[in-house]
Amino acid sequence: SQTIHQWPATLVQPVGSPLSLECTVEGTSNPNLYWYRQAAGRGLQLLFYSVGIGQISSEVPQNLSASRPQDRQFILSSKKLLLSDSGFYLCAWSTGPGNTIYFGEGSWLTVV
């Protein structure tokens, strides 16, 4: 069966510091991968999606970037965090565009 893992689960970072959230999927090949963000009490906002290694599409221009160095690895990064980057970040995968999306456990980021 397929599983998705993301880490770290929680982190507190100062403004201006870098960020790296990592996500891996097991049990499937060539998945579509996604990063979402959820602000407190709000819905989910799609940040990035990827259909293959090195292929990243950005949905919202912002302070964040994503990379896919391996088939089942997706990384969310920032060079300098802003207070507004605080939130709950979710990695997700699907077998293809339009197919069911499965989410990871999420990472809580607090920028102070």
Does the footprint of another protein cover residue 24 (CB under 8 A)? no
State the minimum distance, in angstroms, from the CB of residue 79 to another protein: 25
Half-sphere exposure in the Cβ direction for 84 (13 Å, CA)? 3
Cβ proximity to another protein, 5 vs 80, nearer residue: 5
Considering only 12-20, 38-46, 66-74, 77-85, which stretch makes contact with another protein by CB under 8 A? 38-46
Beta carbons within 8 Å of 76's beta carbon, 6+ residues apart: 19, 20, 21, 23, 35, 47, 48, 64, 65, 66, 89, 91
Does the footprint of another protein cover residue 105 (CB under 8 A)? yes
H/E element, 58: strand 55-58
Does the footprint of another protein cover residue 90 (CB under 8 A)? yes
Q: Tell me: cis bond preceding 8? Omega within 30 of 0 counts.
A: yes
Closest CA to 37 of 87, 74, 71: 87
Considering only 13-21, 44-52, 67-75, 78-86, which stretch makes contact with another protein by CB under 8 A? 44-52
State the minimum distance, in angstroms, from the CB of residue 82 to another protein: 23
Residues at the site binding another protein, with contacts judged by CB under 8 A: 32, 34, 36, 41-46, 49, 57, 59, 88, 90, 92, 97-98, 100-106, 108
